Amino acid sequence: MAQAVLLLAGAVTTWIVASFVGPSIFHDHLLEAGSAHDSTQLDHVELAFRDSLLIAMGVALFTSVLTAWLVTAWFTRRVQQSTGAVVTTAADIASGQYDARIDASGLGTEFDRMGSTINELAGRLQDTEATRRRLLSDLGHELRTPLATVEMQLDAVEDGIRPLDGSTVDVLRSSTARLRRLADDIAAVSRAQEQRLELRLVSCDLAELAARVVADGAGAFEGKQVRVGVDHRGPVQARVDPQRMSQVLSNLLSNALRHTPSGGTVSVSVEHVDGACVIEVLDDGEGIDAEHLPLVFERFFRSDHARERHEGGSGIGLTISRSIVEAHGGQIRATSIGRGAGSRFTVTLPDPSHHSTS
């Protein structure tokens, strides 16, 4: 409509101006060319001029209004379809269908960005929802075992099968301790995964930090007769939160200890590699199956459920470690040639000195 009005206004103006100015200019030119003032030929030529002007204007106006209408109708339809799709998809997402996605409209960058932003939003919601579901099911699974033990013990006491003596209380206590640990772990892992970890970054020597963590754990290693040592060539400065990084190392060390039989060796190395600070914890223990390697950092993952539940691991030590390392802008990887061949955990952290010079 707007386009048609615009064209009409243009055409009417052109027509008015042309019919006032055109004929007199035409008339003057004809006189100059030598036509007689009152010849009928002159009248005819002037009439022809006026008619042809009118027809030309009419046809031009008609075609341009038609074209404007067609183009506008086509474009409006496309915009309507695209925004309609966006609205429908957004409504779907709002109602909980997080897998709904918008296709690229081809209407230009702004439209495409609107689509991709909504898609990103849906992706995030989908991830959060999946994590929430997984967490809830993991949690139910984890709570069931200690609760079942408590119930079983209480039933046995009630039925007179077991006396409520020291050993029963010990079993009950170990189950409640397990529940308490689980609660603490869950709090820690959710803090870590929501990236609410507050890091107090200071410049510190990773080699010294590793040596301290190893010294703290030395007693446990001695008790199991597993050798442990730190290997480094001089200080390796990095900007880390010493407490958190110690937590990562002690997680890695306690895992290595747990999975290495007596007589084995665990070694920690700290060095600069390719402009990064690299800490490695290497053991020659039972190793990790190739199929389990990608899973060890997953929440509640344990490769040997029966035994480790007995030994008390929740399977979140590495999940927390990974969150901490990633919060430092680093990476943690696990490698192992397979069962019986030992495992290697590698933590790579950005090297502050390398960063500032590059």
The residues of the shown chain that bind ligand ATP, judged by CB under 6 A, are: 251, 255-256, 259, 283, 285-288, 296, 301-304, 308, 313-319, 343
276-283: strand order across its sheet:
227-232, 265-273, 276-283, 343-350, 331-335
DSSP category for residue 197: P
CA distance 251 to 257: 10
Q: Among Mg ion, ligand ATP, none, what does residue 301 contact (CB within 5–8 Å per kind)?
A: ligand ATP
Shortest distance (Å) from residue 121 CB to ligand ATP: 31
Shortest distance (Å) from residue 87 CB to ligand ATP: 44
Token pair of 114, please?
């609107």
CA distance 228 to 249: 13
> Please, which residue, 49 or 301, has the CB nearer to ligand ATP?
301
Shortest distance (Å) from residue 295 CB to ligand ATP: 8
| Near Mg ion by CB under 5 A: residue from 255, 260, 319, 323 | 255
> Please, which residue, 83 or 346, has the CB nearer to ligand ATP?
346
Radius of gyration of the chain, Cα coordinates, nearest whole angstrom: 40
> Please, which residue, 255 or 348, has the CB nearer to ligand ATP?
255
Question: Residues touching Mg ion: how many (CB under 5 A)?
Answer: 2
> Please, which residue, 30 or 189, has the CB nearer to Mg ion?
189
Shortest distance (Å) from residue 193 CB to ligand ATP: 13
Q: Closest Cα to residue 346, out of 293, 268, 274?
A: 268
β-pair partners for 267: 229, 282
CA distance 29 to 249: 101
Shortest distance (Å) from residue 320 CB to Mg ion: 9
CA distance 118 to 328: 29
Q: Among Mg ion, ligand ATP, none, what does residue 314 contact (CB within 5–8 Å per kind)?
A: ligand ATP
The half-sphere exposure of 236 on its side-chain side, counting CA atoms within 13 A, is 25
Shortest distance (Å) from residue 205 CB to ligand ATP: 25
CA distance 122 to 120: 5
Burial of 82 (0-12, 13-18, 19+ CB in 10 A): buried
Stretch that binds Mg ion, among 30-38, 111-119, 252-260, 298-306 (CB under 5 A): 252-260
Residue 317 makes contact with Mg ion by CB under 5 A = yes
CA distance 311 to 326: 28
> Please, which residue, 178 or 328, has the CB nearer to ligand ATP?
178
Stretch that binds Mg ion, among 184-192, 212-220, 247-255, 337-345 (CB under 5 A): 247-255
> Please, which residue, 30 or 245, has the CB nearer to Mg ion?
245
